[in-house]
Homo-oligomer: A and B are copies of this chain.
Amino acid sequence: MSRPPARDLTPLFDPRSLAILGASATPSKWGYWLARSALKGLKRRGVFLVNRRGQDILGQRTYRSLGEVPQPIDCVVISIRAAGFEQAVDEALAAGARAIVAITAGLGETGSEGRAIEQAVTEKVRAAGAVLVGPNCLGIADTISKLDLASTEFGPGSIGLISQSGNLGIELALVATDAGVGFSRFVSVGNQADLDVTELIHAYALHDPTRVIAVYAEDFHDGRDLAEAARRAHELGKPVILLTVGSSRAGARAARSHTGAIVSASVAVDAACLASGMLRVGSPREMIELAQGLLMPHPPRGRRVGIVGDGGGHVALAADKVIQAGMALPLLTDDVAAKIRATLPERAATRNPVDLAGGGEDDFRNFERTVRALATSGEVDAVLLTGYFGGYSQESLDFARRETQVALGMANAVQESGLPLVVQTMYPASPSIRALRSRQVPVYADIESAVHVLARLAEWSELVPWGVPAMPEPASPGLVANGYFEARDLMGAAGIPFVDATLVTRLAEAKAAANKLGYPVVLKALGSSHKSDRGGVQLGIDGDRALKTAFMEMTSRLKPQTFSVERMAVSAEGVELIIGARRDPSFGPVVVIGMGGVYAQVLQDVAVALAPLTQKLAVGLIRSLRGAPLLVGARGHAALDIDAAARAAVALSQLAAERQDIVEMEINPVLVGKEGVLALDARIVRMKGGA
């Protein structure tokens, strides 16, 4: 089924009338919770409870069937057993429903029979111009339209949440409540038979009250479509935060058992984030913490942090974390330090970090004065307040009132200066902290969280999504087999320069080839075993005798059908890279560029992107490697030809994008010299069933 054009989701998120199929009077049942939640919206819409027994529920009359309901229904929630699901959908559509929320489980997630039912139902729903959420979902909510069809309360706010796991949706709601942020909309997408994550990202991007989009997904359907939706949302000023699983094989095992979806490999998700500007996180807490940061009025536009606290331990700890996160703690100039010192005790530290050294306890307004001085100094990009602030409110109502005034003063100071303030406090539940949160100042209980969010936002402020590359016309699969020389030929034809090599079978041919190339040469035993760690490659063969020895030894040990005799590349001044591509089931061709050599492989120094690459992106990927200093000419090394290495990566990425029959391809290594590159080995893996 191809994606339908953008659809009107108003009947889903703000129906004029709503029916619950499977409403129940039993408090332990889903149908009871749903009815109770739905009735909260009675002022805004008609809510009709349908129950075959017809007994009253929560003081409301019920109907024995949808047909009995006296008016057309915009949205129908289906919470009945799987056996009656298809019929229920028919009845809903007959009753005029433009939206269906299918709680019912036991369909697509159980096997092919269930998937067939889902497919049939989806076709009917689309034919009727309606939309369907689920099945196997935990409900939806819209805090603007007072629509609550979820088992947990989602507090009002600006986060649009899309979750493939109902329980993680609940966890996110709870964590957000603690953090003082809330939601515009929530959808538990379930099996995504019709409405999927991608369509919801598109919809949320155009939904004014939604300012940040939070996604938990296990299954990406068409990952490039999803990435493109996220990129568009980013462009519209709605950043997308992504939490996913499956970076471990065991994680993937669990996800399969959960939704039957094949989880995309973690590395492909990273590539999609680079293309789209999605912000990937590792846990529900990190998701909400980052959302708090994204919702503040003025996220940081640089990495210079000014730290304020009343106590040396807290400011020292914060300083450590800031430096560890790769941000800077500029020493403040005399002027700024003098301004800060004016109202503080003599023992205060005023150069950054600023330790009020009791000056905050003496007079709470010193917190505000110092934050304001930093925010208007022009010498920092963000202010980080850490430690005890928030705790004075514990002492008395008068202290609480005065601390809250100071909190609002700090919020004003940073609002006026256009700089961000991020707060770590030992007392996150304090009224003064509530005041800060009401002004969109992000507050965290942990210093790691506060600093981590600052660092991610500074990085994010510099981020320009590379875009989701268009796929080229598929190329003919051609007649290329999996062999080494076929791989060299294919990549060579794409413009990647390879080291001279001759295919030989017998020793005499090998000697002739070696003498023509000139010693020293490399001998490779071809077949599946020419990898260096199996001893199928001998470097630095310096004459006929050594060639014979190597040839005989490999012949007896590996029994290869053919050999390659190759010129020995001189690598004294060059650096080796690995350039590869892999076709991901969800995200399509993904390119990987890494530092070569055994040491680099041990450390997995790699960068990834969706194929095909542009030259600029390829250069950017190479420069992002931790080992990049070796290529750019640092530490007395010569500057190497990064442009040529990037051209090789672009060529390989184009090939990977065109050739749908190729699952994996790799050049390992490619030697990057001062001028140009030279590919020293190649490998291609084609689809099973390919030629």
Question: Which A residues form the contact surface with B (CB < 8 A)?
Answer: 27-28, 105-106, 109-110, 163-168, 170-171, 174-175, 216, 218, 243, 245-251, 253-255, 257-259, 282-286, 310-317, 319-324, 329, 347, 349, 351-353, 355, 358, 387-388, 391, 395-396, 426-427, 445-448, 532-535, 595, 597-603, 605, 626-627, 629-630, 635-637
Contacts and interface: CB of A to CB of B under 8 A. Distances in A.
B629 A283 contact: no
Contacts of A445: 175, 285
A255 B602 contact: no
A109 B313 contact: no
Nearest to A28: B395
Contacts of A255: 312, 316
Contacts of A637: 598
A40 to B, nearest CB: 18
Nearest to A256: B349
Given A167-B387, A324-B248, A355 B254 contact: yes
Nearest to A330: B250
Contacts of A311: 165-168
A544 to B, nearest CB: 22
A255 B313 CA distance: 7
Given A250-B322, A532-B636, 19 more contacts: A106-B347, A165-B311, A165-B312, A167-B311, A167-B313, A168-B311, A168-B313, A175-B445, A218-B316, A245-B319, A245-B320, A251-B317, A258-B313, A258-B349, A259-B312, A283-B446, A599-B627, A602-B629, A603-B627
Given A535-B636, A599-B599, A630-B602, A323 B448 contact: no
Contacts of A358: 105
B247 A324 contact: yes
B246 A165 contact: no
Contacts of A164: 313
Most buried by B among A258, A447, A535, A637: A258
A319 B285 contact: no
A422 to B, nearest CB: 16
A15 B120 CA distance: 80
A323 B250 contact: yes
Given A314-B165, A598-B635, A635-B533, A171 B426 contact: yes
A313 B600 contact: no
Contacts of A533: 635-636
5 contacts: A109-B347, A165-B313, A165-B314, A168-B311, A258-B312
A254 B598 contact: no
A631 to B, nearest CB: 11
Nearest to A33: B395
A355 to B, nearest CB: 6
Given A314-B168, A599-B600, A248 B319 contact: yes
Contact of A320 (B216, B247, B320, B395): B247
B598 A257 contact: no
Contacts of A629: 598, 602
A605 B605 CA distance: 13
Contacts of A630: 598-599, 602
Contacts of A246: 316, 320
Nearest to A247: B320
A448 B313 contact: no
Contacts of A253: 319, 349, 351, 353
